[in-house]
Amino acid sequence: MEVTIRFTLNRRPVTLRTDGDRTLLSVLRSDFDLTGAKYGCGVGLCGACTVIVGERAVRTCTKPITAVAGQEVLTVEGLAHDAALHPLQQAFIDHGAVQPTEKGALTQVYLGGITFELVVSPLRPGGSA
C-alpha cells in the first residue's frame, strides 16, 4: 500500500510517497542514492546496512520505511558537515581504510560501529563523554 512518509535525512526534511512495505535500506539506496549503507546479509546480522535513527544504530535491511516517519536518520554520507569530513571519515582516509569486500560492506560495518560508539553513545544516559 502506498504511504507518504516524512522524516529528516542527513539534517534535511524529506517527503516520500512509496510502498509502505519497503525497507529503509531500499529507500536510502534507490530513492536517495545514498549507497554508503550496504546490503550484506539482509537479515539484521552483519551490520553492513547500519545507519543512525534518532540516537540508535539501526539495521536498515529489516527496518520498514514506515518506522522512520518523523524520525531523524543519519547515514554515513551525513557524517560530513559543512563540506568538512567527520573526523572518523578523515581517519579512514588518512589510514588507508579500504573496502575489503566486493560490495564494501566491511568498511561500512566498521564505520557504522565506530560511529555508534563514539558519536551516539555519549549522548545516551550512561554513555562515555
Report the interface residues with ligand FES, using CB under 6 A.
Answer: 39-42, 44-49, 59, 61
Nearer to ligand FES, 29 or 59 (CB): 59
Nearer to ligand FES, 39 or 110 (CB): 39
Least Å distance, CB 39 to ligand FES, is: 5
Least Å distance, CB 104 to ligand FES, is: 12
Q: What is the largest CA-CA distance in the chain?
A: 46
Least Å distance, CB 24 to ligand FES, is: 10
Residue whose entry in the numeric block shows the C-alpha cell 561500512:
108
Q: What CA–CA distance (Å, rounded) separates 114 from 70? A: 25
Shortest-Cβ-distance residue relative to ligand FES: 61
Q: What CA–CA distance (Å, rounded) separates 75 from 106? A: 16
In this structure, are strands 12-19 and 50-53 parallel, antiparallel, or unpaired?
unpaired
Nearer to ligand FES, 5 or 61 (CB): 61
Least Å distance, CB 57 to ligand FES, is: 11
Per residue in 13-28, is it b (16+ CB within 10 Å) or e — as a string?
eeebebeeebbbbbbb
Nearer to ligand FES, 62 or 71 (CB): 62
First to last CA, the chain: 43
